[in-house]
Amino acid sequence: MKNRFYFIIGAIIAVLCSSCKKDNYEAPAADFTGRIVYKGEAINVQYGQVNFELWQSGFGNYAALKVNVSQDGSYSAKLFDGNYKLVFSPNQGPFLWKKNATGKQDSIAVNISGSKAMDIEVMPYYMIRNASLTAASGKVNGSCKLEKIITDANAKDIESVSLYINKTQFVDGGNNIAVQQLTGATIADLNNLSMSVNIPAIVPAQNYVFARIGVKIAGVDDLIFTPVAKISF
């Protein structure tokens, strides 16, 4: 009986000691943060729609780490130290990513060693300038002008320009309570766009909405947006 008792104690000690061992790996510790920018100006996109890929070689089969870009164009990822390659897949984001000599998406080498902040320079098809969003007599009025950035063979037309409003700060085509859309064909002057949308009854009542203008470029999935504005009325 005594023997068996010692044996059990021994087993318990063995289990406890083995579980004191450190885990095999440290959690990733380096913060990789920044924004996607054009000449220092952040590109605003739809939440959860735009991501870039980080590839790291040397660990078995290749697979990408996908890093999402937030509404305001910022991103952040927790990474292990190491050498990565950063690339946007074709048709991610409302911008053109540069190509390498073989016509494929070019990648940027990123060395992570401790935390790092880096703005990623991209080439948008259009930029939204002079955006103004105001509320007046039950409506949200928006105006802006569009600057065409890419004018060479890769240039694209505007498919539509929309003013979205929503109860929460997520504002886009799938998250809105009202929208006013100008189709590309009806836009005569890119320098003078104005829209207005009626604010519907909100339940439960609130005296503010969030609004943004989004521009859909023909043949491009992701819209480019103005920053989210909180508008009280």
Partner 1 sequence: MKKYIYAFAAIACLSFAQSCKKDSEFLDKQPTSTLPIDAVWKDPNLVLTVVGDLYDRFPDFQRIESWWLFADFDEGFASASGDYFRHQNLEYGYDAWRYWDIGVYRLVNDLNLFIKRGQEATALKAEDRNRFLAEARFIRAGVYFEMVKRMGGVPLITVPLAYDYSGDPSYLQYPRAKESEVYDFVIAELEAIKTVLPDNATIQSRATKAAALAMESRAALYAGSIAKYSNAQLTLPGGEVGIPAAMANGYFTKALNAAKEIIDGGKYSLYKKNPNLSDNFAALFTDKGSNPEVIFAKDFKLKTNKVHGFTIDNQPRSSAEEAQGGRLNPSLNLVQSFEKLDNTYASFAAIDGSGNPVYYTNITDIFADRDARLAGTVILPGTQFKGKTVDIWAGYQLANGTIVTGDNFAQSKSNVLPGNPGSVQVVGGDGPVDGLEFSAQSGFYVRKYLDPATGSGQIGTRSEVWWIRYRYAEVLLNAAEAAFELGDAATAANYIKPVRDRAGLTTALSPANITFDRIVHERKVEFAFEGHQLWDMKRWRLADKVWNGNNMSAADFTNASNIGSATRTSTQVFGLWPYKYYNPGNANHLKYIFKVIKPSRVTAAHRFRIGNYYSSIGQDVLNGNPKIIRNPNQ
Site for partner 1 in 67-106 (CB under 8 A): 89-92, 103
According to the binding rule CB under 8 A, does residue 220 interact with partner 1? yes
Binder of partner 1 out of 63, 123, 155, 185 (CB under 8 A): 63
Using CB under 8 A as the binding rule, whether residue 56 contacts partner 1 is answered as: no
Q: Is 195 in the site for partner 1 (CB under 8 A)?
A: no
Q: Map the footprint of partner 1 across residues 154-183, applying CB under 8 A.
A: 173-176, 179
Best CA proximity match to 199, nearest among 129, 137, 126 = 137
Question: What gap in Å lies between CA 93 and CA 147, rounded to an integer?
Answer: 17
Q: Does 132 help bind partner 1 (rule: CB under 8 A)?
A: no
Question: What count of other Cβ atoms lies within 10 Å of the Cβ of residue 13?
Answer: 10
66 near partner 1, judged by CB under 8 A: no
74/89 with CB nearer partner 1: 89
| Nearest residue (CB) to partner 1, 6 versus 62 | 62
Phi, psi of 137 (to 5 degrees): 40, 60
**Binders of partner 1 among 35-54, rule CB under 8 A?**
48
Cα distances (Å, whole numbers) of residue 122 to 103, 190, 195, 216: 17, 22, 28, 17
Output 10 or 48, the one with its CB closest to partner 1. 48
Least distance from C-beta 212 to partner 1, angstroms? 14
Q: Which residues contact 175 (CB under 8 A, 6 or more apart)?
A: 47, 164, 166, 168
The stretch among 20-28, 106-114, 134-142, 213-221 that binds partner 1 (CB under 8 A) is 213-221
Q: Which of the stretches 15-23, 67-75, 77-85, 214-222 binds partner 1 when contact is defined by CB under 8 A?
A: 214-222
Size of residue set near partner 1 by CB under 8 A: 17
| Least Cβ distance, residue 184 to partner 1 (angstroms) | 13
Task: Using CB under 8 A, list all residues that contact partner 1.
Answer: 48, 61-63, 89-92, 103, 173-176, 179, 219-221
